[in-house]
Homo-oligomer: A and B are copies of this chain.
Amino acid sequence: MSVITANLKTTLLGTELRNPTILAAGFLGVSAESLIRVYENGAGAVTTKSISIESRNGHANPTVLSFGHGLINAVGLSNPGIDNYIEEIKTVKEKKIPLILNTIGDRNEDFITVAKLGEAAGVDIIELNVSCPNVIHKKPYYSDPELLSSLVRNVKDAVSIPVIVKLSPNVTDIKEIAKAVEDAGADGISAINTVGPGMIINIETAKPVMAFKKGGLSGPAIKPVAIRCVYDIYETVDIPVIGIGGIMNGKATVEMIMAGASAVGIGSAIYYRGLDVFKKISEELSEWMDNNGYTSIKQLVGAAHES
C-alpha cells in the first residue's frame, strides 16, 4: 500500500485528540479507572456517564440487552451524583486524558451546577444530555427549541469551557433543534442519542423484557439514522458535530465524518468488537485513509456534501 500514514490527530473545540474516536456516554463511564482503561485501549477522548446533582438509581434490571441488530437500553441515567463523581473526574484528568462531562438535569439550574463543578474539576467539554424526559415543563427539552435555547444560554453564561448539546433523533425536525442550539450559543452538537424507544416482548411469558418496558436503540441498526441526522445538522449549522450511532469500524467512521462529524462517538461497538475497538477502528481508519489518498481528518469532514 501507500507509504504515507494518515494523521488521525484532530482538534475538537480546542482540545487536541490523538484520533477522532470518543467513548460515548453511558458506556463504562462509572469509574475513573474504567475510563482510563478505555483511553489505554485507543480512544481519542472519553465521555462520563450522564451525571446529575443527586445520585440516581436508574431502572430495575433488565436494563441493557441486545436484540440482534443493536442494543436496547433503559439504564435510567443511574449515577452517583456530581459530588461523588468529582474524584473520578480528577483521577482521569491527572492522566491528561481528554474528558467530556455528560450532564443531565430536570431544570436549567441542575445542569449549571453540575457543569460548574465539572469545570472546576478539570473536564474539557460539557455535554448537555437533553434527551432526558423528566423536566419542569410538560414538553421535554429535546423536542422544544425554546426550552433548549434557554438551557444553552444559561449554561454558556455559567462556564467558560466549551458546551455541546447531545440531540435526540426522535424529533420531527432535527434541523430546527440544531439551529436553535447554535443560535443560543452552543459550541458544538453531538448526535445522536438512542433511537425509538423500542420494545421487546418475550412471547412465552407475554411480557415486555425490559423492566422499564421500553428502551432506546443503539448499534448497527441505527447507523443510517445517525448518518442522516449528522448530515442534516452539518447542512444547518457551522459548529462542529460529534457523530454518534452505530459506528462499528473504520469505514463507518469515514462515513460519519463525511456526513459532517468532526469526531465520532463509539459505544455499542464495544459489545460487538471488544474494549480495544478504539484501537481497531483507528487502525482501520488510518489504513483506509492511506489507501484512498487522504492524509488528514479535516479532508474528510463533510466530504459527502455537495460543494
Contact = CB atoms under 8 A, between A and B. Distances in A.
A303 B206 contact: yes
A220 interface: yes
A126 B98 CA distance: 57
A178 interface: no
A217 B196 CA distance: 13
Contact of A228 (B69, B197, B222, B227): B197
B143 A228 contact: no
A39 interface: no
A214 interface: yes
A254 B207 CA distance: 12
A117 interface: no
A200 interface: yes
Nearest to A213: B231
Contacts of A70: 69, 221
Contacts of A208: 231, 304
Given A203-B258, A258-B206, A228 B198 contact: yes
A204 interface: yes
A207 B172 contact: no
Contacts of A203: 251, 254-255, 258, 288, 292
Interface residues of A, number: 44
A269 to B, nearest CB: 14
Contacts of A259: 199, 201
A74 B142 CA distance: 27
A200 B215 CA distance: 25
A171 B171 CA distance: 6
Interface in A250-301: 251, 254-255, 258-259, 288, 292
A64 to B, nearest CB: 14
Contact of A201 (B170, B220, B225, B227): B227
Contact of A172 (B170, B220, B224, B225): B170
A195 B21 CA distance: 27
A199 B221 contact: no
Interface in A177-208: 195-201, 203-204, 206-208
Given A198-B227, A201-B259, A204-B292, 8 more contacts: A67-B223, A67-B224, A70-B221, A72-B224, A196-B225, A199-B228, A206-B303, A208-B304
27 contacts: A67-B223, A67-B224, A68-B220, A69-B70, A72-B224, A143-B172, A171-B172, A197-B224, A197-B228, A198-B224, A198-B225, A198-B227, A199-B228, A199-B231, A201-B255, A201-B258, A201-B259, A201-B304, A203-B254, A203-B288, A204-B292, A206-B304, A208-B304, A214-B228, A215-B224, A217-B225, A221-B221
